[in-house]
Amino acid sequence: MSVTAPAGFAAAGVTAGLKKSGGLDLAIVANLGPLANAATVFTSNRCKANPIIWSQQVMSDGRVSAIVLNSGGANCYTGSIGFQTTHATAEAVAEQLQVSSGDVLVCSTGLIGEQLDLGKITAGVFDAGVALKDAAASSAAAGLAAAQAIMTTDTRPKQATQVSPAGWTIGGMAKGAGMLAPGLATMLVVITTDAVLSSAQLDAALREATRVTFDRLDSDGCMSTNDTVSLLASGASGVDADPEEFTTALTNLCRDLTLQLQGDAEGASHDVAISVRNSASETEAVTVARAVSRSNLFKAAIYGNDPNWGRVLAAVGTIPEADAAFDPYGIDVAINGIQVCTAGEPDQPRELVDLTPRAVSVVIDLHAGTVGATIWTNDLTHDYVEENSAYSS
């Protein structure tokens, strides 16, 4: 179960013909109420796709009745024609569901710089609208179809659920396999809940949850133009959720989806958690971990099962002093539990490090404070190069 796990939601995934593969490529998630509260986080990329520009307008009143998502085209850098396509998509959904088009979020993912076929989209929206009127639209199968319809180079759908003993539920689905970097990733995420929360409460919870989950996934350093994380609340449980408990559950759900995205990153053979300890601040810990996660040399070494801690420190050293306090010769590095460097000198032999498992832990102790943070990344592999030199989904 995912987006249909909470009460008050219906979902559909259909084939509109946008993907060359002929697979499911258009999804709608409808909020059946009684509430229509919502919050969203969008990409911080200045080159925003047309669906982002549209959806930002929709969010001005914090009210969302439905979200429509397509794979097979990003509708980014497609000018005024592209914006008209997004607008017409929202209108088609509004007509099918008898809601206001101003309450319909639109998300697109795929190649940048090519127009979407509006005829195929409106036909797909019609098919999805028919499916949504069926009682089965609130089933787990319907949620799964929606999760499949938003996949691009993903090899599997990503879903997660959190159930509170207080009587409310959160469900979520995500797509994203490349261009995974902060602010956010090439990533579309739809989260639903039947808890009773205001749009302002949802917004606060979503910002806190994404800050420590999706924003700390940095698979390949590339930031997309289309990223959207949306959180829709139906209130159908009738239970007023405690905001703190809700934020914790939402963070757990977002972490679950984040790790699913990491585990399915394009071409990756290792999931690498880079943890910085004893930093002067959380922000500085993130800066240090992110610098390592961006080093192609480090990432290629991990692919080759080479515990090359010199490349870790070389990456750490690129950070200006104003951005992170540390003594470059006082740093410890452990890889998969073996402390290979202590205070900037070789410690345990690198031969002791076993990098054959997919999960890799790199721990960097700055000895500069008391806080820490983790960035999740992947290795740089032949398959990454292959997939991204031939990408045209």
Show binding-site residues for substrate: 152, 175, 186, 266, 388, 393
Active site residue 186: yes
288: contact with its own copies by CB under 8 A: no
380: contact with its own copies by CB under 8 A: yes
How near is the Cβ of 148 to its own copies at its closest, in Å? 24
Distance (Å, rounded) from C-alpha 309 to C-alpha 333?
7
Among 10, 76, 144, 366, binds its own copies (CB under 8 A): 76
Question: Per the omega criterion (within 30 degrees of 0), is the bond before 34 cis?
Answer: yes
Lay out the site mask for its own copies across 5-44 (x = CB under 8 A, - = otherwise): ---------------------------------------x
Q: Which of residues 84-123 bind its own copies (CB under 8 A)?
A: 111-114
- Asked if residue 60 lies in contact with residue 74, where contact means CB atoms within 8 angstroms, the answer is no
Among 34, 119, 304, 357, binds its own copies (CB under 8 A): 304
294: contact with its own copies by CB under 8 A: yes
With CB under 8 A as the rule, give the number of residues binding its own copies: 63
Among 70, 85, 295, 393, binds its own copies (CB under 8 A): 295
Among 238, 330, 337, 346, binds its own copies (CB under 8 A): 346
179 vs 231, beta carbon nearer its own copies: 179
Annotated binding site: 152, 175, 186, 266, 388, 393
Q: Can you read off the two tokens belonging to residue 273?
A: 């958690």
Piece in contact with its own copies (CB under 8 A), picked from 3-11, 100-108, 208-216, 223-231:
223-231
How near is the Cβ of 353 to its own copies at its closest, in Å? 13
User: What SS3 string covers the chain?
Assistant: CCCCCCCCEEEEEECCCCCCCCCCCEEEEEECCCCCEEEEEECCCCCCCHHHHHHHHHHHHCECCEEEEECCECCCCCHHHHHHHHHHHHHHHHHHHCCCHHHEEEEEECCCCCCCCHHHHHHHHHHHHHHHCCHHHHCHHHHHHHHHHCCCCCCCCEEEEEECCCCCEEEEEEECCCCEECCEECCEEEEEECCECCHHHHHHHHHHHHHCCHHHECCCCCCCCCCEEEEEECCCCCCECCHHHHHHHHHHHHHHHHHHHHHCCCCCCCEEEEEEEEECCHHHHHHHHHHHHCCHHHHHHHHCCCCCHHHHHHHHCCCCCCCCCCCCCCCEEEECCEEEEECCEECCCHHHCCCCCCEEEEEEECCCCCEEEEEEEECCCHHHHHHHHCCCC
Q: Which of residues 183-212 bind its own copies (CB under 8 A)?
A: 183
388: contact with its own copies by CB under 8 A: yes
Among 134, 238, 318, 337, binds its own copies (CB under 8 A): 318
* Catalytic-labelled residue, pool 78, 86, 186, 193: 186
How near is the Cβ of 264 to its own copies at its closest, in Å? 17
Q: Can you read off the two tokens belonging to residue 184?
A: 């956010």
Piece in contact with its own copies (CB under 8 A), picked from 27-35, 176-184, 236-244, 249-257:
176-184
349: contact with its own copies by CB under 8 A: no
* Residues annotated as catalytic (active site), given as ranges: 186
Q: Which residues form the interface with its own copies (CB under 8 A)?
A: 44-48, 74, 76-79, 111-114, 178-179, 183, 220-225, 294-297, 300-301, 303-304, 306, 308-311, 313-319, 321, 328-329, 340-341, 344-346, 350, 380-382, 384-386, 388-392
